[in-house]
């Protein structure tokens, strides 16, 4: 029967319906945004010290509600998580030539935020099967120029923050965290993203909860919080009035979140727990349905951690299966599985790092007199990340799905169909 024949070879697709993309917006978000529009106050910020330096009523309420939810002292909203990354790197006082250790597997903004201040990203490899930055590799990459470690809580769970904190404390480094993909996940019963000197979350449209674009920084340090707010809002004009004495990197920026986005964010935050519960139901179906497929290694969860599954990361044993990953990907796509791909590009292989060209045409910051001359971005520096990317990693992008269990059951059937026909690929 044609339903048992791979769609790639002319059979019927396993996913027989075009499901709509998941829409997180509801009537409450529409009402909140409408109220702001009717008020005529779409932003409450002014770029000078005073009552409006920290934004309007929705921004300030959203920040308080976020801080309360995640049990942190300070929450600072920004207009994108890229802006948040730039602000956090600036707030710790990065200077040209300083190094920040980052993982190679993440959105490229994690690394380019370092370059924005003239700092230099140094790439540490990822943990096998957990995909977060590997503390062992971090230790090997520390030099006299290292200023900070920037961990990424990739795919939905925390980095090894206990070990990374120990490394940071041993070497007098800042510990930063990018929890764009793991809001609400926990490590040792504490929220991921809150255990670093500065952490933060994305509110980009395909995250668990979102405002279209946006982000939230978190910290328990009063001085760092003030620096973040100054960097967000033209701090050079307000730094004297703020009382801050250390004015490094307090230069003009506008990373402010609007009142519409903040109003939507307040509603979305209330939905976070429900979103995570729905995601758990979906991944439970995936775990149950895919568990018996030979050569397909399903996601691992770190001890004493929870996982919120921004994506569903898997590894293929190509030696056991005798099939190259790309053929499996092509077959799954032909069956109608959306959002399945090989994985992140290794950032260190991008032209910017291979050619060491970023700011201007003279190779800054790598050619800066205070920079270390032996920075290495050649292939081979992150062997686990490179091997996974090149031949073993398979990723199901849950954010692009409708989050309808009917679609998930069809995806499971598509995997089973492909696996039952591997010899035909």
What's the pLDDT tens digit per position in 46-102?
A: 999 999 999 999 999 999 999 999 999 999 999 999 999 999 999 999 999 999 999
- 23 vs 371, residue with greater confidence: 371
What structural domains does the chain harbor? 27-268 (3.40.640.10)
Confidence at residue 342, expressed as pLDDT on a 0 to 100 scale: 60
Contacts of 118 (CB under 8 A, 6+ apart): 94, 95, 96, 97, 98, 359, 364, 365, 368
Confidence at residue 403, expressed as pLDDT on a 0 to 100 scale: 77
> Is 6 within 8 Å of 424 (Cβ atoms)?
yes
Mean pLDDT over residues 160-188, rounded?
98
**Element of type H or E holding 315:** strand 312-316
* CA-based nearest residue to 145, from 92, 98, 89, 93: 98
Confidence at residue 328, expressed as pLDDT on a 0 to 100 scale: 96
**Bridge partners, residue 297, by sequence:** 315
Classify residue 402 by burial, with Cβ atoms within 10 Å: 0-12, 13-18, 19+. middle
What confidence category does residue 4 fall into, taking pLDDT thresholds of 50, 70 and 90?
confident
Per the document, the length of the chain is 425
Least confident of 40-54, 207-221, 241-255, 393-407: 393-407
pTM: 0.96
Contacts of 291 (CB under 8 A, 6+ apart): 298
Please provide the average confidence, as pLDDT, over all residues in the chain. Answer: 95
Tokens of 23: 């829409």
- 342 vs 223, residue with greater confidence: 223
Residue 324 has pLDDT above 70, yes or no: yes
Residue 273 has pLDDT above 90, yes or no: yes
Task: Report which DSSP code applies to 409.
Answer: H
What confidence category does residue 190 fall into, taking pLDDT thresholds of 50, 70 and 90?
very high
Tokens of 396: 């199901």
In whole angstroms, what is the distance from residue 276 CA to residue 269 CA? 11
Confidence at residue 343, expressed as pLDDT on a 0 to 100 scale: 63
Mean pLDDT over residues 344-356, rounded?
93
pLDDT in tens, 394-425: 999 888 788 788 999 999 999 999 999 999 99
**Bridge partners, residue 146, by sequence:** 99
Mean pLDDT over residues 240-260, rounded?
95
Residue 140 has pLDDT above 80, yes or no: yes
Contacts of 381 (CB under 8 A, 6+ apart): 123, 125, 348
Confidence at residue 279, expressed as pLDDT on a 0 to 100 scale: 94
Contacts of 319 (CB under 8 A, 6+ apart): none
Q: How many helices (H) and strands (E) does the chain have?
A: 14, 13
What confidence category does residue 252 fall into, taking pLDDT thresholds of 50, 70 and 90?
confident
In whole angstroms, what is the distance from residue 177 CA to residue 340 CA? 26
Whether omega before 386 lies within 30 degrees of 0, making that bond cis, reads no
Confidence at residue 326, expressed as pLDDT on a 0 to 100 scale: 93
Classify residue 266 by burial, with Cβ atoms within 10 Å: 0-12, 13-18, 19+. buried
Neighbouring CB atoms inside 10 A of 71's CB total 11
Contacts of 107 (CB under 8 A, 6+ apart): 180, 344
Least confident of 167-176, 275-284, 332-341, 379-388: 332-341
The residue with tokens 């003239």 is 118
> Is residue 146 helix, strand or coil?
strand
What confidence category does residue 1 fall into, taking pLDDT thresholds of 50, 70 and 90?
low
Give phi and psi for 5, each to the nearest 5.
-90, 135
pLDDT in tens, 49-59: 999 999 999 99
Residue 344 has pLDDT above 80, yes or no: no
**Element of type H or E holding 264:** helix 259-290
> Is 231 within 8 Å of 209 (Cβ atoms)?
no
Confidence at residue 338, expressed as pLDDT on a 0 to 100 scale: 85
Least confident of 4-8, 131-135, 244-248, 256-260: 4-8
């Amino acid at each position: 029967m044609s339903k048992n024949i791979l769609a790639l070879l002319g059979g019927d697709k396993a996913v027989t319906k075009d499901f709509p993309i998941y829409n997180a917006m509801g009537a409450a978000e529409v009402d909140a945004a409408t109220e702001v529009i009717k008020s005529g106050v779409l932003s409450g910020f002014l770029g000078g010290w005073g009552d409006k330096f920290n934004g309007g009523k929705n921004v300030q309420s959203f920040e308080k509600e976020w801080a309360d939810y995640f049990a942190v002292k300070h929450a600072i909203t920004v207009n994108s998580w890229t802006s948040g990354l730039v602000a956090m790197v600036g707030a710790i006082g990065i200077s040209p030539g300083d190094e920040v250790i980052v993982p190679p597997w993440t959105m490229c903004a994690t690394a380019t935020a370092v370059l924005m201040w003239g700092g230099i990203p140094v790439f540490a490899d990822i943990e096998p099967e957990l995909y977060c930055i590997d503390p062992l590799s971090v230790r090997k990459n520390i030099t006299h120029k290292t200023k900070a470690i920037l961990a990424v809580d990739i795919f939905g769970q925390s980095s090894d923050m206990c070990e990374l904190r120990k490394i940071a404390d041993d070497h007098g480094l800042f510990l930063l965290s990018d929890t764009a993909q793991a809001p609400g996940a926990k490590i040792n019963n504490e929220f991921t993203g809150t255990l670093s000197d500065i952490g933060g979350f994305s509110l980009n449209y395909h995250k668990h909860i979102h405002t279209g674009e946006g982000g939230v920084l978190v910290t328990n340090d009063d001085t760092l919080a003030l620096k973040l707010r100054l960097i967000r809002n033209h701090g050079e004009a307000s730094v004297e009035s703020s009382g801050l004495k250390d004015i490094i990197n307090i230069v003009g920026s506008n990373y402010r979140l609007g009142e519409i986005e903040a109003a939507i964010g307040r509603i979305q935050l209330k939905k976070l727990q429900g979103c995570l519960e729905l995601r758990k139901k979906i991944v439970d179906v995936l775990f149950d349905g895919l568990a018996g497929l030979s050569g397909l290694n399903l996601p691992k969860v770190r001890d004493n951690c929870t996982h919120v599954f921004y994506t569903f990361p898997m590894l293929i044993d190509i030696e056991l299966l005798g099939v190259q990953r790309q053929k499996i990907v092509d077959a799954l796509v032909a069956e109608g599985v959306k959002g399945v791909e090989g994985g992140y590009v290794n950032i260190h292989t991008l032209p910017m790092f291979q050619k060491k060209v970023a700011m201007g045409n003279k190779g800054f910051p790598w050619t800066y007199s205070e920079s270390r001359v032996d920075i290495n971005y050649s292939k081979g520096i992150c062997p686990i990340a490179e091997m996974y990317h090149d031949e073993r990693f398979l990723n199901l992008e849950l954010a692009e799905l409708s989050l309808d269990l009917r679609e998930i059951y069809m995806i499971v059937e598509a995997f089973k169909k492909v696996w039952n026909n591997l010899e035909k690929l």
